[in-house]
A and B are shown apart, each in its own frame.
Chain A
Amino acid sequence: MRDDPKERAALGRAANAIAPADGIARRRADFPILARTVNDRPLVYLDNGATSQKPQCVIDAEAHYYAHLNANVHRGVHRLSQEATDAYEAARDIARDFINAAQREEIVFVRGTTEAINLVANSFGARFRAGDEILITGMEHHSNIVPWQLACERSGAVLKVVPVDDSGELDAAAFESLLSPRTRIVGLTHVSNALGTINPVRELIALAHARGVPVLLDGAQAVPHLAIDVQALDCDFYAFSGHKLYGPTGTGVLYGRRALLEAMPPWQGGGDMIRQVSFARTTYNDLPYRFEAGTPNIAGAIALGEAMRYVRDLGLDAIAAHESALLRDATERARAFPGLRLIGTAREKAAILSFVLQDVHAHDVGSILDHEGVAVRTGHHCAMPLMERFGVAATVRASFALYNTHEDVAALFAALDKVREVFGDA
């Protein structure tokens, strides 16, 4: 895609106009899978929080690499290796720009958010000691809980958890009081995958920094919906996945503040992460390669770069405005739906509607919705402690992306009417 400032400005204006949806949702045509049917009905894909669909340009970018550039990176002197390396490193530059990192050395390609957090928990966490504290929140995904529990097991550090209130917001006062002289890091989700809550991360980071505590943000659910500027946020680590951002599975980015990355020991050893190897002593490569052992997902990184370019060209402000309109529409319909309880009613939310229906289990709702061609996620959303907090075993989650329309929202609620038809009134 071209990067046309005029087009972007026009999209931005459209987002503020009366019918903000049209400009963005017209991009549906870019996503070939949206043309398919499920049970002879048009696919209504509302499981974007799990993974988004891919535009043709991303699919093409991955295929183009294998058809024209395939070679290993950072190795050969031959032409293909040079071209593959150039394309891979160009993707790093796009990623740097996408989240406004100060330097390209701060962008580490990983398999996804999970690997990014594991990298930090292992490497930055290597110096945790018994009695140290790791502060996370009650709304974290398992991938921002379990790596820290493993770090606690290795080091004797203790996990502390910030409580969540009934609306699905963090208790900021509790956050502040849980920051102690022993706190070594804060792991915090930017946007909750199960509730949609947008956390006030800038303020929370400022509170942590006032006590000298670095902060890792789990951005998996934020990057597709919000413009990210890691310098403005002042976060120390930012982790996200490519596949929720219209990119390929098995791709992701760890942003790390250079001073922190410089001081961290390698996590995985192997090729590419070394400078010189001998049996007596091995020296390690520079950033970011020190953290990219082995042949990376080259095609995936290149295609992720294309996905970021695609999103950047559409403009995250325009995408966010469109998705907010969908969420407002869905929330209003949800509030009017008999026997429906919203799980997550924070003031600031992004693209996620999580709910339960009285007397109908989430999986029964999911099966009936699927029968109607509507794909949603049902279950605990890899956030079991949060489900327990709200006293539910599972919720139904509809999550929006740039290609969803108000017709999709209407289809969701028509399918929920069908649930009532099958199960009777609440």
Chain B
Amino acid sequence: MPELRDLYQELIIDHGRRPRNFGALADANHRAEGFNPLCGDRITLFVKTREGVIEDVRFEGTGCAISTASASLMSEALKGRTEAEARALFDGFHALVTGEGAAEQAPLGKLEVLAGVAEFPARVKCATLAWHTLIAALRDQSAPVTTEGEESR
């Protein structure tokens, strides 16, 4: 049986309560919305890139501890990365939280604190909302992103 602390580690509770990089980013050149209507989780993601490198990431919104902590940890992990590295990080993170073997992926650092989500299938969509919104932002996709329906039932 999965333990609650596997999901709700101190770092997650901390980032859920005091999200880093929270707020709008005036000079963002990419932006996207994520919305899970069943949960009510909402995120607006602001990304500032220059010559393919992510210089700053900020976000606004409301959500559960998992989605807020995931967005917060993501925003920290992305600064200074190239867009290609960010996409690779997305792949690795996705494999981690869906339990599809993250071993061979690039090291995820602090993001690995969300590994426990894999044992709680109903919450995968919470952990991935910010990341799918990031991909949408880098593509300048205008339609809001949702992760409801694709990763859990």
Instruction: Report A's interface with B, CB cutoff 8 A.
Output: 39-40, 359-364, 367-368, 370-371, 379-380, 384, 387, 393-394, 418, 422-424
CB-CB under 8 A from B65, the residues of chain A are 360-361, 364, 423
CA distance A39 to B119 in the complex (A): 12
CB-CB under 8 A from A39, the residues of chain B are 1
With most chain B CB atoms within 10 A of its CB, the pick from A39, A368, A393 is: A393
Is B39 within 8 A of A367, CB to CB? no
CB-CB under 8 A from B39, the residues of chain A are 363, 379, 393-394
Is A380 within 8 A of B1, CB to CB? no
Q: Decide: A367 near B120, CB < 8 A? Known: A39-B1, A379-B38.
A: yes
Chain A residue at minimal CB-CB distance from B68? A361
Is B13 within 8 A of A363, CB to CB? no
Is A393 within 8 A of B40, CB to CB? yes
CA distance A368 to B7 in the complex (A): 10
Is A368 within 8 A of B4, CB to CB? yes
Residue B126 interfacial (CB < 8 Å)? yes
Instruction: Report B's interface with A, CB cutoff 8 A.
Output: 1-2, 4-5, 7-8, 13, 17, 37-42, 62-66, 120, 122-123, 126
Chain B residue at minimal CB-CB distance from A421? B4
Q: List 29 A-B contacts (CB under 8 A).
A: A39-B1, A40-B1, A359-B17, A360-B65, A361-B63, A362-B40, A362-B64, A363-B41, A363-B66, A363-B126, A364-B64, A364-B65, A364-B66, A367-B120, A367-B122, A367-B123, A368-B4, A368-B8, A370-B122, A371-B2, A371-B4, A379-B39, A380-B40, A393-B41, A393-B42, A394-B39, A418-B4, A422-B4, A422-B5
Is A422 within 8 A of B1, CB to CB? no
Is B13 within 8 A of A423, CB to CB? yes
State how many angstroms separate the Cβ of B113 from the closest Cβ of chain A.
15
State how many angstroms separate the Cβ of B125 from the closest Cβ of chain A.
10
CB-CB under 8 A from A424, the residues of chain B are 13
CA distance A73 to B5 in the complex (A): 55
With most chain B CB atoms within 10 A of its CB, the pick from A367, A384, A418, A424 is: A367
CA distance A424 to B120 in the complex (A): 21
- Additional A-B contact list (9), CB under 8 Å, known A368-B4, A394-B39: A362-B40, A363-B123, A367-B7, A370-B122, A379-B38, A379-B40, A387-B40, A393-B40, A422-B4
Contact of A361 among B2, B4, B64, B120 (CB under 8 A): B64
Q: Decide if the interface of chain A is mainly helix, strand, loop or mixed.
A: helix
State how many angstroms separate the Cβ of A209 from the closest Cβ of chain B.
37
Contact of A363 among B4, B17, B64 (CB under 8 A): B64
CA distance A385 to B5 in the complex (A): 35
Chain B residue at minimal CB-CB distance from A361? B64
CB-CB under 8 A from A40, the residues of chain B are 1
CB-CB under 8 A from B37, the residues of chain A are 380, 384
Is A423 within 8 A of B40, CB to CB? no
Chain B residue at minimal CB-CB distance from A394? B40
State how many angstroms separate the Cβ of B86 from the closest Cβ of chain A.
27
CA distance A39 to B123 in the complex (A): 17
CA distance A181 to B7 in the complex (A): 57
User: Closest 7 interchain pairs by CB?
Assistant: A393-B40, A361-B64, A363-B64, A394-B40, A422-B8, A364-B65, A364-B64
CB-CB under 8 A from B1, the residues of chain A are 39-40
State how many angstroms separate the Cβ of A282 from the closest Cβ of chain B.
40
Chain B residue at minimal CB-CB distance from A359? B17
CB-CB under 8 A from A418, the residues of chain B are 4
Is A393 within 8 A of B38, CB to CB? no
CB-CB under 8 A from A360, the residues of chain B are 65
CA distance A321 to B30 in the complex (A): 58
State how many angstroms separate the Cβ of A217 from the closest Cβ of chain B.
27
Is A380 within 8 A of B13, CB to CB? no
CB-CB under 8 A from B42, the residues of chain A are 393
State how many angstroms separate the Cβ of A39 from the closest Cβ of chain B.
5
CB-CB under 8 A from A393, the residues of chain B are 39-42, 62
